[in-house]
Chain A
Amino acid sequence: MHEMSIAMAVVGQVEEAAGAAGAHAVTSVRLRVGELAGVVPDALAFCFELACAGTVLDGAELVTESVAARARCATCPDTWAVGMPPELCCPGCGRATDVELLSGRELEILSVRWEDGPAGARTREPMPEEA
């Protein structure tokens, strides 16, 4: 379950960026997750909610864009969807060398939506424990 570690890394990086920009409420985070990144989106969403609690991301929505894994062979013209489990030998010529994975290992924060107006301009009611 390294999704918790990943969620915490995401929250840490966003917190840092939000802090630097003076943002006071992050409302959504958009991630790009490759098919071969080894991350389970549902597990990540669950962990993300927990990791956001008590931070500037509290209640933020996680939007995950998945990226298909594709590869190409140095000698064949076409690229192919490697699928899962991945097929990383060239389906055209069978070559196992000079194969390049073009996409599918992404795990990155694309963008963040936050509020950076005057403090107190939060869009939701504060929860009792925040009052």
Chain B
Amino acid sequence: MCRVVDLRQAVLAKNDDAARALRAGLTARGTTVVNLLSSPGSGKTALLERELLLARGRSVPVAALTADLATENDALRLARSGVPVKQVLTDGLCHLEAAMLGRHLDGWLPEDTRILFVENVGNLVCPAGYDLGESLRVVLASVTEGEDKPLKYPTAFGLAQLVVVTKTDIAQAVEFDEAAFRANVERVNPGVEIVMTSARGGEGLGILLDRALAAGNGAVTHTPVMAGGRQHAQSHDHDHGHGHDHGHGHDHGHGHDHGHGHGHGHGHGYGHDHGHGHDHGHGHGHGHGHGYGYGHDHGSDHHHHHPGPAHPHRPDRAPGSDHADHAPGPDHAHEPPHVRPAAQPR
């Protein structure tokens, strides 16, 4: 018999649930996640390097997870700051998802981390739709990208809680029109704060860290207009609220394991695996992770979580120290081979 059945389920409900659970769990232990979005080459890594160094100088425990399709270059750069850094290779996937992030944090993220910076895949389209459990979403754009970038990528800019302009040291040379850029941001995201930074020249350094700390201390963050606008008729079992509900304590994450058998024991109260995402069980092996300095990795979606050897927390390690430490350890022997950096990038 042919029947039409009303489902009325938000397509990204599982990601939203996972994000909410991750946010609740991390907030409970005092960790604030900052999700950084931008196009490739906008200077996310350079700015982050400086912010991590600043944090370390101020003895604020921070960590960074950086996602790329391939290469570990960014993690090598960030690891020079001496803070815990983890590279996630998405093997072609254009964005991070909350359950994926949760798996990478499990067993790696030091307990005392106050701010976790997540450098999303360089892409202004796909990552915009995925809440990662962040408490602050930041979009970056360099002065070379054109003042109309916010109009071309309205979802990324429209959902940001902070807009960071980078490379202002060359603004004059490229005739960056700050007023036009601000007007375009305002159009898609009225009221959002826009800050000017230059990792090279020093302008605006520390603002990102300050805003992240403020968000972690419970300061009210900007609610973008675009975060509303989902009028779904809610289904019986997915009535979890919409959009960017940053409220805490909405832990809907339990009991959603749909039986794909990952064997991850999430003993830390975050990163609930919703088990049915496309990122596993469908033959796509993306989502490998490598810890730098000391993170342990269990990033592959196709092998079981194992506690691995205890890697000592070494916040005092010398920046840019030798590669042997950075290379994937014996834990990774059963994973597909990864691109190994030929030389440390300058």
B1, closest chain A residue (CB):
A117
Report the separation of the CA atoms of residues A38 and B212 in the bound assembly, to the nearest whole angstrom. 26
B282 and A8 form a contact (CB under 8 A): yes
A88 and B188 form a contact (CB under 8 A): yes
Q: Judge whether B2 is part of the interface by a CB distance below 8 angstroms.
A: yes
Q: Judge whether A87 is part of the interface by a CB distance below 8 angstroms.
A: yes
B7-15, B23-31, B288-296, B313-321: which lies at the interface: B7-15
Q: Judge whether A76 is part of the interface by a CB distance below 8 angstroms.
A: no
Total number of B residues with any Cβ neighbor in A under 8 Å: 51
Q: Judge whether A108 is part of the interface by a CB distance below 8 angstroms.
A: yes
Report the separation of the CA atoms of residues A15 and B2 in the bound assembly, to the nearest whole angstrom. 16
A2 and B2 form a contact (CB under 8 A): no
Q: Which residues of A contact B129 (CB under 8 A)?
A: 2, 6, 37-39, 107
Q: Which residues of B contact A13 (CB under 8 A)?
A: 7, 9, 11, 13-14, 276
A88 and B158 form a contact (CB under 8 A): yes
Chain B min CB distance to A60 (Å): 12
B4 and A96 form a contact (CB under 8 A): no
B14 and A9 form a contact (CB under 8 A): yes
* Shortest beta-carbon contacts, A-B, top 4: A8-B278, A96-B190, A101-B229, A2-B126
Report A's interface with B, CB cutoff 8 A: 1-2, 4-6, 8-10, 12-14, 16-17, 21, 23, 27, 31-32, 34, 36-39, 51, 67, 69, 71, 84-89, 95-97, 99-117, 121, 123
Report B's interface with A, CB cutoff 8 A: 1-15, 93-95, 97, 125-126, 128-130, 150-152, 154-155, 158, 186-191, 225-232, 243, 258, 276-279, 282
